[in-house]
Structure 1
Amino acid sequence: MSGQRIIGLTGSIGMGKSTVAAMFARAGVPVFDADAEVRAMQGLGGELNAAIEAVFPGSTGPDGVDREALGKIVFADPEKLAALEAIVHPAVGERRARFLAKHASAPLILFDIPLLFERGGHAAVDVIVVVSAPADVQRERVLARPGMSAEKFEHILALQIPDAEKRERADYIIGTGTSLSVTQEQVERLIETLLSDR
């Protein structure tokens, strides 16, 4: 097989997906981080701020979108969440297209997409890699985050496809329940495998 391969990297909250994405990036694989793009478009001078403020008055401030305030508005309201996604997703799609054009000659591209299965993004990638850790490790990591509560964690989990199902649907699984060096070795082996399979 020849040509570029697009890796879809996903994993439930607290599984270590950002850490693994950074390992791919350090190994020279261009990484498109959907969450980082959204933060940039909602930050100071962000291109989506006016549209978000128009639909959700009071959700932006001098530094851009107040993510906590916006979260409270859309957190438990599917209709409002859908309205927000209708603003955000097309803009992310445009940035992704520009990213692909910029890296057209790279043998591997990685899309870091938290809700890869939940939003149907798995159909647009060639290889699915799921980052996973034991449930107790995941819980400990998430509850250590600022502003996180057990209730909020459970709500986020309820919105995500269970880890076991993601693992079943994965082409490859990167385990993060061990040391960083072991995770790094898994990433390096996977990159070698994907390059040799082209």
Structure 2
Amino acid sequence: MLLIGLTGNYGMGKSTVLSMFRKCGAYTLGADEIVRELLEKPYVKKKIKKIFGNDFFCPNDRINKEKIAAAIFSDSSLRTELENILHPLVLKKISAEIKKAQKEYSIAIIEIPLLFEKNYENIFDKTITVFTTKKEAIRRLEKKGINKTDAIMRLKTQLPVKEKIRKSDFTIDNSKTPELTKKAVEKLYENLLKEATHGNN
């Protein structure tokens, strides 16, 4: 199995591209999806409460994600503490899911937003960065209900996308139409499939 790490900055369209790869036939998994599941686990909530306190939880004991997001994007030490709780659990889950999928799939594409920031690229055979313009990324984030100031703040917490492009084996330009992005994904998947098949021979 060829293991691919997919990344890009906020609002760049990582999840959209991941979905396109899934439709091509790749096994796909998103770190954000795993995090959402983990945040429902009692033992994870307990650890988060120790750092943030009860004020960051709703009356039904669900985590107030908006409040947590506001805190971690304005305080790097809090962000690091939360990452130290979640990231090892995310990597453990990814490893377990890949083991299950490797007999059935030739290619696994794992979406990890902080792939290069946390030096996780060495886990993967190849890496892909999805990119668009900063202006377009902010527009997409605003469309999701994130105001411009917060959108800019979030983008500043990540490596500049130009740096991610430089570090990546492949890139997907998601700044134009969905049709052009889809064509780029299909072409790259075809090449990756050839590499995966060749590697198994």
**Normalised by the size of structure 1, how large is the TM-score?**
0.90
1:85 to 83, 86, 91: 83
2:73·2:157 contact (CA, 8 Å) conserved in 1?
no
1:46·1:64 contact (CA, 8 Å) conserved in 2?
no
Deviations 1:84-132 (A, max 9, x none): 1221112112211211111122211111011111111111111111111
Question: Which aligned pairs between 1:1-198 and structure 2 lie closer than 5 A?
Answer: 4-43=1-40, 47-58=43-54, 59-61=56-58, 62=60, 64-105=62-103, 106-146=105-145, 148-198=146-196
- Alpha-carbon deviation of 1:73? 3.2
Structure 1, unaligned runs of 5 or more = none
Give the corresponding residue for 2:199: none
List 4+ stretches of structure 1 deviating above 6 A: none
| Structure 1 counterpart of 2:27, one-letter code | P
The SS at the match of 1:178 is coil
| Whole-angstrom CA distance in 1 between matches of 2:61 and 2:179 | 37
- Identify, as 1 or 2, the structure richer in helix: 2
| Segment drifting more, 132-141 vs 28-37 | 132-141
- Alpha-carbon deviation of 1:46? 5.2
2:73·2:153 contact (CA, 8 Å) conserved in 1?
no
**Normalised by the size of structure 2, how large is the TM-score?**
0.88
- Alpha-carbon deviation of 1:11? 0.7
Supply the RMSD in Å over aligned alpha carbons.
Answer: 1.6
Identity across aligned pairs (percent)? 28
